Amino acid sequence: MTAPSPLPTARLADIARQAEVSEATVSRVLNGRAGVAAATRQKVLAALDVLGYERPVRLRQRSAGLVGLVIPELTNPIFPAFAQLIEQALSGYGYTPVLGTQMPGGATEDELVDQLVERGVTGIIFLSGLHADLSADPGRYTRLAARGVPFVLVNGCNPKVSAPFVSPDDRAAARMAVRHLADLGHTHVGLALGPSRFVPSRRKAEGFADALRELGGAVRGSVEHTPFTVEGGHAAAGPLLDAGCTGVVCGSDLMALGVVRAARQRGLRVPEDVSVVGYDDSALNAFTDPPLTTVRQPVRAMAHAAVQGLLEEVGGNPVPRTEFVFQPELVVRGSTAQSATSR
């Protein structure tokens, strides 16, 4: 019987690059040799999964357990981005992720949780769930904790819920967007946000107001609340443009695209007549017309923090019932420019 041939060098290089290890380390893992740390071995196995390579039979292991991931929807690119990174991290630790997605007319968050608990999940990660909606009953999370299911809540902190929270600094995001437009000479800036009952919306509105105060009256502001969608951004753009805003900060990239569309329908050019700033930073933003300036949500760091926090809870090491806040980053592209009045 002949020994199985090793993977081609090109494949070894791909796996090594994905796992951020040497090709020699990949070879040792694939051949089941000793001398590789457990964490490094998991990184190589996770790289195999991400690249679509089948694990050698001898390296396949039983799942350490199921972990639920509950997200609002898949149409906003930021949610699949989070889901991919969270699922990748869970797989690296040997857990099997189970995705539960809320759809209009489909299962509610509570129904998804019941289904996950019935399947015996080890824990649950909630992304932009009802914990971020201040009009929702926070008691659902108290009841979940009473069922003995560990969980972590991402994007939106509710002081009435005792749990680990992982959030971006939404106030800082709004402040840096406003300051960017002010530096470009814009003196009337609009804010297009989702409904005010959501924690991220409230925090961005607070950051927006803080920035205006810090600028000492040099910049005026107008605010519109609509859904976090392209259509919502389009609807918000009307009154903001009517008010004379030459720059618009948006609560999501989808809203920003709606603002761009509304501006163009009025015969306005972006960014020559109106500058637009999004929020999230989808991988597609560099390819929009114009490429979208946005505030990048620290998705990778937040995803890994959520997974680490949950696994600490699962391992019997309670994580502080507090909010872990991550800093966003302004990414300047082609949708913002010097104000026409200051050129």
Fold of domain 65-168+298-326: Rossmann fold (3.40.50)
Q: Residue 334, exposed/middle/buried by CB under 10 A (0-12, 13-18, 19+)?
A: middle
CB-based contacts of 13: which residues, under 8 Å, 6+ apart? 23
Q: Do domains 65-168+298-326 and 170-297+329-342 have the same CATH topology?
A: yes
Average pLDDT of the chain is 91
CA 128 to chain centre: 9
The CATH superfamily of 9-59 is: lambda repressor-like DNA-binding domains (1.10.260.40)
- Angstrom CA distances, 168 to 27, 327, 328, stand at 38, 6, 6
- pLDDT value of position 56: 76
Q: How many Å apart are CA 186 and CA 179, to the nearest integer? A: 10
- pLDDT value of position 10: 53
Q: How many Å apart are CA 282 and CA 300, to the nearest integer? A: 12
Strands 293-296 and 329-331, bridge-based pairing: antiparallel
- pLDDT value of position 44: 86
Q: How many Å apart are CA 249 and CA 262, to the nearest integer? A: 14
Q: What is the pTM of this model?
A: 0.82
CB of 188 within 8 A of CB of 222? yes
- pLDDT value of position 187: 97
For residue 124, which of 174, 65, 46 has the smallest C-alpha distance?
65
CB of 94 within 8 A of CB of 102? no
Q: Which of 8-22, 208-222, 253-267 has the lowest mean pLDDT?
A: 8-22
Average pLDDT over every residue of 289-297: 96
- pLDDT value of position 116: 95
In the predicted structure, residue 12 carries a pLDDT above the cut 70: yes
Handedness of CA 235, 236, 239, 242 (dihedral sign): negative
CATH code of the domain made up of 170-297+329-342? 3.40.50.2300
Using N-to-C axis directions, what is the helix angle for 78-92 and 299-314, rounded to 10°? 40
- pLDDT value of position 2: 38
CA 188 to chain centre: 29
Block residue for tokens 């969608």: 229
Domain assignments of the chain as residue spans, ordered by start? 9-59, 65-168+298-326, 170-297+329-342
pLDDT tens-place string over residues 138-167: 999 999 999 999 999 999 999 999 999 999
